[in-house]
Amino acid sequence: MKPLHTLTITEVHAGLKNGDFTCEELVSHFLKRIERLNPKLNIFLSLNENALQEAKKVDEQIKKQGITLPLQGIPFAIKDNFLTKGMITTASSNILKGFMPQYESSVTHKLLEAGAIILGKTNMDSFAHGSSTETSDFGPTLNPWDEGRLPGGSSGGSAAAIAAQLATAAIGSETAGSIRQPAAWCGITGLKPTYGRVSRYGVVAMGSSLDSPGPMTRNLEDAAIILSVISGKDVRDATTSPKPVENYIDNLGKKDLTGFKIALVKEYLLDSMDQRVKDLIVSAAKKFRELGATVEEVSLLDPKYSIGVYTVIQRSEVSSNLARYDGIRFGHTRDHFNEENKRRIMLGTYTLSAGYYDAYYKKAQAVRTIIIDQFAKIFEDYDAVIGPVSPGPAQKVGATKDQPMFGEMEDILVEPSSIAGLTSAGVPCGFVDNLPIGLQITGSQFSEGRIITIADCYQRNTNFQLFPNLD
């Protein structure tokens, strides 16, 4: 039998059904692995004290009725900006240190309703401000592929949890790359849903017009199973879409991509990019052609413009969202914000102030509309666009020091699709210096099914879904 920490959701369910192991044994295995590896990697900030008791209940349920729920007994790692009733939620900030939520986020509520077991909460950039997990007030998470490297961010803890195989699946959130970029740096699969496909209710807000919760997993199959559970209209979140939720599992297993048209964005192969990364993306395009798809080069607005748009819009929304942390409602005063938090609040307040609103915020929204329209035009002729997730592999620990625009530069290639509210899958496509490189496969709004089909077919026909040996 394969080691328990290497199993996918489908394999876990097969093992539980066949009696190869119990849910209690599975959860215990992960907890022991976390106990061994977490002091070194700093992935989990807190653990669920009731995880083993919950696992015992699952075993009783399976004994009586079999497996009846899509995520029954599946151990999850949850990014620490999702409110979890009875479990501390900090968003990796000292302002929320020790904060115990009184209600459950919609995403974690749906996971629990589907039978999942939360192992614990994972480290992240403080209030999701960053792309490295170095801005966490509780210390950086280290990349399981190389402990001298960063895991990316802001969902770096969740990405590292899957790479280190400390959970079967994980949940992250993306504002502009925070699922796909750490997934790329850690060599796992990350799926960013369309904005409004998954509820933001109970997620500590960062950029309210951008935030998108999503799965971080071993492969596309697991991501599709989870997305089918967490998607849908939520009466507590007015930005969620009433569009029916597909059974994304039905989009898996296609043998080829005949009839699909894929666009390779020329501007995403940056002049400054490592040639080896460019070569991997060109190789991925070749693989798509071998699988029967038509792949053609297209042009989009230079991604450098997305940096300015994202910086203005995100900082503006940050200044609004963090205004509630006034030392009255959440226990700690504003002097507990770290330097990155303060920079974003100050810049956002400036861009929204009288006399500067038109020059910055209004102009950023106008350029955002141009980006949205350009993507819409491309998707009239193509099923997906592809490009690298990040200009290079995981950066070294300490790379963010004195680099206030670090995140924007590392996320330059994923910011355009997030600004446009699109869906995108990030999957491994090779290695540079023994570090994983990610490919993004992006589709129009609410085309998750099609993107899952394309990404899953690519993944099943390549062998880049590897994990570091930590044993």
pLDDT at position 235, please?
Answer: 98
Dihedral sign for Cα atoms in the order 132, 134, 135, 141: positive
Which token pair is 189? 């699969």
pLDDT, tens digit (0-9, with 9 covering 90-100), for 115-156: 999 999 999 999 999 999 999 999 999 999 999 999 999 999
CATH 3.90.1300.10 fits 4-460, yes or no: yes
Residue 365 reports pLDDT greater than 80: yes
The residues with which 192 forms a beta bridge, in sequence order, are: 424
Of 105, 136, 154, 319, the active-site residue reads: 154
CA triple 165-133-128, angle to 5 deg: 110
With a pLDDT cut of 90, the percent of the chain lying above it is 90
How many angstroms separate the CA atoms of 411 and 419, rounded?
A: 12
The residues with which 217 forms a beta bridge, in sequence order, are: 189
Mean pLDDT of 27-38: 98
How many angstroms separate the CA atoms of 10 and 70, rounded?
A: 9
Determine whether 97 is an active site residue: no
Whether the predicted model's global pTM rises above the 0.85 cut: yes
pLDDT, tens digit (0-9, with 9 covering 90-100), for 227-276: 999 999 999 999 999 999 999 999 999 999 999 999 999 999 999 999 99
Largest distance between two CA atoms of the chain:
68
pLDDT, tens digit (0-9, with 9 covering 90-100), for 59-117: 999 999 999 999 999 999 999 999 999 999 999 999 999 999 999 999 999 999 999 99
Low-confidence winner among 5-9, 165-169, 332-336 (lowest mean pLDDT): 332-336
Mean pLDDT, the chain, whole residue set: 96
Give 183's contacts (C-beta < 8 A, 6+ positions apart).
152, 155, 159, 172, 189, 190, 216, 389, 426, 438
- Report the candidate in 389, 397, 390 with the shortest Cα–Cα distance to residue 146: 397
How many angstroms separate the CA atoms of 294 and 447, rounded?
A: 18
Q: List Cα–Cα distances, 287 to 200, 316, 330, 454, in angstroms.
A: 36, 41, 51, 12
How many angstroms separate the CA atoms of 201 and 102, rounded?
A: 13
pLDDT at position 467, please?
Answer: 98
Q: Exposed e or buried b for every residue in 315-343, given b needs 16+ CB within 10 A?
A: bbbbbbbbeebeeeeeebeeebbbebbee
pLDDT at position 154, please?
Answer: 97
Within 10 Å of residue 161's Cβ, how many Cβ atoms?
Answer: 37
**Helices and strands, counts by H and E, the chain:** 14, 11
Torsion of CA 99, 104, 110, 112, to 10 degrees: 70
Dihedral sign for Cα atoms in the order 376, 382, 383, 387: negative
The residues with which 397 forms a beta bridge, in sequence order, are: none
How many angstroms separate the CA atoms of 214 and 126, rounded?
A: 19
How many angstroms separate the CA atoms of 147 and 143, rounded?
A: 5
Of 79, 110, 121, 287, the active-site residue reads: 79
Determine whether 17 is an active site residue: no
Determine whether 178 is an active site residue: yes
pLDDT, tens digit (0-9, with 9 covering 90-100), for 393-412: 999 999 988 887 787 888 99
| E strand or H helix that includes residue 197 | none
Of 105, 178, 306, 447, the active-site residue reads: 178
Residue 330 reports pLDDT greater than 90: no
Give 370's contacts (C-beta < 8 A, 6+ positions apart).
301
pLDDT, tens digit (0-9, with 9 covering 90-100), for 263-319: 999 999 999 999 999 999 999 999 999 999 999 999 999 999 999 999 999 999 999
Burial class (CB in 10 A: 0-12, 13-18, 19+), 121: buried
Give 377's contacts (C-beta < 8 A, 6+ positions apart).
none
3-state helix, strand, coil in the chain (%, to 5): 40, 15, 45
